[in-house]
A and B are shown apart, each in its own frame.
Chain A
Amino acid sequence: MATAAEQWVLVEMVQALYEEKEELIEEWQPEPLVPPVSGDHPALNYNVVSGPPSHNIVVNGKKCVNFASFNFLGLLDDPRVKAAALVSLRKYGVGTCGPRGFYGTFDVHLDLEDRLAKFMQTEEAIIYSYGFATIASAIPAYSKRGDIVFVDRAACFAIQKGLQASRSDIQLFKHNDMADLERLLKEQEIEDQKNPRKARVTRRFIVVEGLYMNTGTICPLPELVKLKYKYKARIFLEESLSFGVLGEHGRGVTEHFGISIDDIDLISANMENSLASIGGFCCGRSFVIDHQRLSGQGYCFSASLPPLLAAAAIEALNIMEENPGIFSVLREKCKRIHKALQGISGLKVVGESFSPAFHLQLQESTGSREDDVKLLQEIVNHCMDRSIALTQARYLEKEEKCLPPPSIRVVVTVEQTDEELERAARTIKEVAQAVLL
């Protein structure tokens, strides 16, 4: 039994500790919740578009021809699409008021999933209410801690977030470099032989994009399929830019190369580019897709797509199926402007000739990214003054794994006439000469 003196000392110690803690609590100063943003931050003041962002767009009060929205097939102000969406609005209202599991599944959603599966000639499709969330929820549903994912360096941000959420082991390979990918796969094979038990439960995935958003180049899909069967890795293909663009019927890069769609385990695309709606979808075999209905986070825990957007997407699919000629028209226009923009002093064209969204980068960087961005912004501003609406490609500089160099994004749509394409190329040439020299 402690004596009175000892008890007194203990109480004193506790009291002193208590006071010390109170002092520490008072002294601690947190950082401000957000660091201050300077008033001339390039991304702070957005361009304000008055009215619809269609072919003739009004940006900051100026009337321009739209070379910046991903409206590849011109379906944004198509009267049929609007009419279908209107019918749906009058029947269902706007919101769905619930996730898919709790009375948020409408017959329109089931219809759209059916149509997408038929169009892409796969067994099943699943739709998400947000394009970004599609691939960012699909990857973590299959790839978990301990699995290995081989991903291209130029993969878009949504893929990077999906990979981060999955907590898998990520191996980056050089952009479109199949030799580098094969090297990584071989190294992994050697690792597997050292530890066969672990290898038997480690899943491998290769994540690539059909047409890369950041570079406008196409992935070498035939070689990838060969590597898939040789090294037993599954392929996830992100087709946001190539859906509705490549291939005879617009089915994307698999049709472009003539590869059987069953060879690709999962195709994911967003409906915000060619289909001019909102949301995204994944398609593939039922064995693969059905799993996302219970483990895709963006699917289970989020309200479903508003029915008017789904109806608009269905009508857009109808239009795509009825005139398969527009895809080759679009590719023609892309080739035309690609050729016209060659040879501008100071700017180089980055991207395939048939890619509808490509980049114009500075041939020689000034040395600092900030200055490059300012220079390109000047070009964009001058083009806007001359009624050509362009935009810089925006990135989060601190968050991207492999930050692409600053560039101007040029988007081609079927609505642009040949004359407008010529004018745009001329304007960009003149402005670039004026600004860069």
Chain B
Amino acid sequence: MRPGPGGCCYRRPVRANGCVANGEVRNGYVRSTAAAAAAAAAAAGQVHHVTQNGGLYKKPFNEAFEETPMLVAVLTYVGYGVLTLFGYLRDFLRHWRIEKCHHATERKEQQDFVSLYQDFENFYTRNLYMRIRDNWNRPICSVPGARVDIMERQSHDYNWSFKYTGNIIKGVINMGSYNYLGFARNTGSCQEAAAKVLEEYGVGVCSTRQEIGNLDKHEELEKLVASFLGVEAAMAYGMGFATNSMNIPALVGKGCLILSDELNHASLVLGARLSGATIRIFKHNNMQSLEKLLKDAIVYGQPRTRRPWKKILILVEGIYSMEGSIVRLPEVIALKKKYKAYLYLDEAHSIGALGPTGRGVVDYFGLDPEDVDVMMGTFTKSFGASGGYIGGKKELIDYLRTHSHSAVYATSLSPPVVEQIVTSMKCIMGQDGTTLGKECIQQLAENTRYFRRRLKEMGFIIYGNEDSPVVPLMLYMPAKIGAFGREMLKRNIGVVVVGFPATPIIESRARFCLSAAHTKEILDTALKEIDEVGDLLQLKYSRHRLVPLLDRPFDETTYEETED
């Protein structure tokens, strides 16, 4: 038994970055025991932001999730309870033909087949989703820029079917499209270049990358993406969703372990499931939970055989699009280095939107792109095109070129889309000779800070990190989901509202996506209307009592193992 430096008989906890801590270690942050007591006492009425941790973070990481007020939670459950009861009543009436049944039915010839859908599976869709269905799938007929034209539709049978009146609601402020840097435009250099390439190359490719679908444009794009990210090589794919679901199975297989964040996107979850590896989930952005999983994985090995794992892959996203939170990348990288795991970073929302030069979350934290083993991202959000990419070391990309499902079986990117990506990327990098890229990045950062600050001042509960351009505003109650969407459209603002199952059942929210194309006037107009609607619907729940991250309760991480 080795006595410690202070002569005490206990080992001092070691921080994630290897230094010995003087006090208790929680969430990777150190607090001395005296300060802990003081902080706990002062936490009740204070806003408590997380501060730097011995050099891992170069600037303050301000992320907060205010607790749901108790009364609101109770009322929300009551609301769902009432809706469920009415749902059962309506189903009963429909079954006994007292009420007209609007939805499509099975063919007469196939009535004795096993029914295609289970009744309760669609209960939520039939009885809750149908009531407020007009807030989604709104068709537009103009470029999805800062202002958009929405086609008006009406329903005479409570949203079961829609008719287009022929009117177009013009100039709706667009707070829903993923247009972070404002490249969704139908004029300008990107569009000219794409038009030229369309004339020359046509629209389709009609072959896969490995057969005869590898155009010189694709090679050009991949070199550019690699230089943009600061990695050795990159590979581009036709669909962002498919980039995850087709490449994760190529990287890991049976006998490997995947540690995935609680709130990862469906494409990451699908890719992880298709790979056949064991999946364990750690609590959202919680580094202690991740560390415990890593430790246990290495010490105890595979579940029944106790053999060591072949490799461990950590799946995280840059910005989580439903929470607006940013991954704690410095700590994840420190953990990955300590435990020799591999890191797969999905930057679908953060590429182009974060960082002083728009290179994503790695740039935002000032880290080295070589530390991230697999950098994945999409071209849909900040580049105004479509598709996805993976960047990393040359061995990784060579392996993906030969073994990725997409390269062998799926069509490659369409040439005008490639040109749009190339031009917009060059613009962001400043290679086209203008400062447009830099201006857009700065404008987005300013818009983000301004918008979030104003909303918080008004008294709404806003989730997520101060610097994330995705702003979730909590609504909670089911009726308010529909009401918010409709009221905002009446006032000529298009917002996105999300409920179950994309979010936990009581935490439904409205999600704003800010854009560099939004000018201050547009934001002010939007804020004014949000203020009005907030008063009308009583959405200003905030009591400014943010749960300090250091005190967020950490319970024992129980991991659900999913084995296929």
Contact = CB atoms under 8 A, between A and B. Distances in A.
Interface of A: 11-12, 15, 18, 21, 24-25, 28-37, 41, 43-44, 46-54, 57, 59, 66, 68-71, 75-77, 81-82, 85-86, 89-98, 100-107, 109-110, 129-133, 136, 142, 156-158, 161, 164-165, 167, 199-204, 229, 232-234, 262, 270, 272-273, 275-278, 285-288, 290-291, 293-294, 297-298, 300-303, 305-306, 308-309, 312, 389, 391-396, 399, 409
A43 B401 contact: yes
Contact of A277 (B142, B194, B204, B340): B204
B408 interface: yes
Contacts of A105: 137-140
A42 B373 CA distance: 25
B558 interface: no
A102 B203 contact: no
A167 B380 CA distance: 30
A85 B212 CA distance: 23
B176 interface: yes
Contact of A69 (B118, B178, B213, B340): B213
Interface stretch (B63-71, B278-286, B304-312, B450-458): B304-312
Given A43-B210, A69-B213, A86-B195, 15 more contacts: A30-B310, A33-B373, A33-B374, A34-B399, A57-B212, A81-B203, A82-B198, A85-B198, A89-B195, A95-B183, A97-B178, A98-B176, A100-B137, A107-B141, A302-B267
Contacts of B184: 93, 95, 97
Given A33-B342, A97-B384, A294-B125, A59 B212 contact: yes
Most chain A CB inside 10 Å of its own CB: which residue of B148, B179, B338: B179
A75 B204 CA distance: 9
Contact of A306 (B199, B249, B385): B385
5 contacts: A28-B340, A75-B204, A89-B416, A97-B184, A393-B211
B27 interface: no
B428 to A, nearest CB: 15
B411 A131 contact: yes
B206 A132 contact: no
Contact of A131 (B144, B190, B210, B410): B410
Given A93-B384, A95-B420, A102-B496, A82 B141 contact: no
Nearest to B185: A93
B206 A28 contact: no
B242 A130 contact: yes
A305 B117 CA distance: 28
Contact of A50 (B208, B216, B342, B496): B216
A95 B339 contact: no
Nearest to B148: A103
Given A165-B274, A278-B411, A306-B417, A103 B177 contact: yes
Interface string B398-420: 11111101111111001111001
Contacts of B386: 94-96, 129, 303, 305-306
A294 B266 CA distance: 13
B301 to A, nearest CB: 9
A198 B273 CA distance: 26
A276 B210 contact: no
A81 to B, nearest CB: 7
Contact of B401 (A46, A53, A94, A297): A46
Interface stretch (B35-43, B76-84, B99-107, B323-331): B99-107
B239 interface: yes
B549 interface: no
A377 B126 CA distance: 56
B479 interface: no
A409 B544 CA distance: 66
A101 to B, nearest CB: 5
B212 A98 contact: no
Interface in B465-507: 494, 496
A396 B203 contact: no
Contacts of B174: 103
A278 B205 contact: yes
Nearest to A64: B212
Contacts of B201: 51-52
A125 B9 CA distance: 71
Contacts of B210: 43, 46, 394
Given A30-B340, A105-B139, A286-B104, A278 B204 contact: yes
B212 A53 contact: yes
B406 A132 contact: yes
Contacts of B190: 94
B179 A97 contact: yes
Interface in B290-344: 295, 298-299, 308-312, 338-342
Given A97-B178, A98-B178, A103-B176, A82 B274 contact: no
Nearest to A68: B212
Given A131-B410, A394-B211, A308 B116 contact: no
A393 B295 CA distance: 45
Contact of A92 (B186, B239, B273): B186
A95 B211 contact: no
A69 B405 CA distance: 19
B199 A395 contact: no
A105 B176 CA distance: 12
Contacts of B299: 21, 24-25
Interface in B96-145: 104-107, 109-110, 112-118, 125, 129, 136-145
Contact of A54 (B177, B202, B270): B202
Given A30-B309, A46-B210, A297-B241, A86 B295 contact: no
Contact of B398 (A37, A270, A399): A37
Nearest to B109: A229
B409 A232 contact: no
B202 A82 contact: yes
A359 B516 CA distance: 51
A66 B202 CA distance: 15
B436 interface: no
A70 B112 contact: no
B176 A102 contact: yes
A59 B410 CA distance: 20
A204 B206 contact: no
B92 interface: no
Contacts of A300: 266
A272 B186 CA distance: 25
A414 to B, nearest CB: 13
B105 A28 contact: no
List the 5 shortest-distance A-B pairs measured between CB atoms, nearest first. A130-B239, A34-B399, A302-B241, A287-B104, A46-B214
Contacts of A303: 178, 240, 378, 380, 386
Contacts of B251: 33-34
A15 B400 CA distance: 44
Nearest to A67: B212
Nearest to A75: B204
A216 to B, nearest CB: 16
A77 B409 contact: no
